[in-house]
């Protein structure tokens, strides 16, 4: 899988987590409003002409049902978020463990046989490839990789 596709999936999962958090918050607000306003609306329109001697069962159940719906959705959102976070972690590990041939050929649009290009590790030699290569290398080896990359560019410019 290409690095850009992995980064796209990671961004999509993060956005999905944000949407779930917002939906969970909105569900709680809806539960609060229904608990506060629904009994009044029922009294006004349903029980307006009825002589009540005791509280209707429906009015006692509204807060319970609203709380249950809000809590169940919150638990669902939390489980889904934890699953997405675990998937993001796996995708980030996959992106950081990509080999140079996976990263280098990403500008070839899957039409690359890697022997069609210059003297890059996989054959590709454009500036975006070198930037990705430097990003994927640990910090301790970054200076060393930058020196080799600049030497390769200098050699290819002389030819």
Q: 85 and 130: one domain? A: no
Q: 79 and 126: one domain? A: no
Least confident of 33-47, 49-63, 79-93, 126-140: 126-140
Q: 70 and 88: one domain? A: yes
pLDDT band at 5 (very low <50, low <70, confident <90, very high): confident
DSSP-based three-state secondary structure for 56: coil
Q: 21 and 83: one domain? A: yes
Q: 104 and 92: one domain? A: no
Q: 67 and 27: one domain? A: yes
| Mean pLDDT (the chain, rounded) | 76
Q: 134 and 90: one domain? A: no
Q: 13 and 89: one domain? A: yes
Least confident of 9-13, 37-41, 43-47, 130-134: 130-134
Cα 1 from Cα 37, distance rounded (Å): 52
Q: 62 and 109: one domain? A: no
Q: What is the pLDDT of residues 50-84, one digit of tens each?
A: 887 788 888 889 999 999 999 999 999 999 999 99
Cα 125 from Cα 152, distance rounded (Å): 9
Closest CA to 125 of 102, 95, 156: 156
* Domain termination residue (choose one: 69, 96, 123): 96
User: Rounded to a whole number, what is the largest CA-CA distance in the chain?
Assistant: 99
Q: How many domains does the chain have?
A: 2
* Domain termination residue (choose one: 96, 124, 142): 96
Q: What is the pLDDT of residues 99-128, one digit of tens each?
A: 655 555 555 555 655 555 554 545 454 444
Q: Give the distance, in angstroms, between the CA of residue 53 and the centroid of all CA atoms in the same chain.
A: 54
Q: For position 144, what pLDDT does the model report?
A: 63
Q: 86 and 115: one domain? A: no
* Domain termination residue (choose one: 64, 96, 128): 96
Q: 89 and 149: one domain? A: no
pLDDT at 4 over 50: yes
pLDDT at 29 over 50: yes
Global pTM reads 0.57
Instruction: Give the structural domain span for 135.
Output: 100-158
Q: For position 31, what pLDDT does the model report?
A: 94
Q: 75 and 123: one domain? A: no
């Amino acid at each position: 899988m290409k690095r850009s596709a992995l980064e796209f999936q990671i961004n999509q999962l993060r956005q999905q987590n944000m949407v779930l958090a917002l939906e969970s918050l909105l569900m709680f607000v809806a539960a609060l409003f229904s608990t506060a306003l629904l009994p009044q609306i029922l009294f006004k329109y349903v029980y307006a002409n009825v002589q009540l001697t005791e509280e209707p069962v429906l009015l006692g159940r509204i807060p319970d049902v609203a709380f249950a719906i809000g809590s169940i959705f919150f638990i669902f959102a939390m489980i889904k978020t934890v699953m997405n976070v675990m998937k993001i972690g796996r995708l980030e590990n996959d992106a950081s463990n990509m080999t140079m041939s996976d990263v280098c050929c990403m500008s070839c649009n899957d039409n690359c046989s890697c022997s069609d290009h210059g003297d890059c590790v996989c054959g590709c030699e454009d500036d975006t490839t070198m930037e990705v290569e430097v990003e994927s290398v640990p910090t301790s080896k970054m200076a060393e990789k930058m020196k080799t990359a600049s030497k390769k560019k200098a050699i290819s410019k002389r030819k």
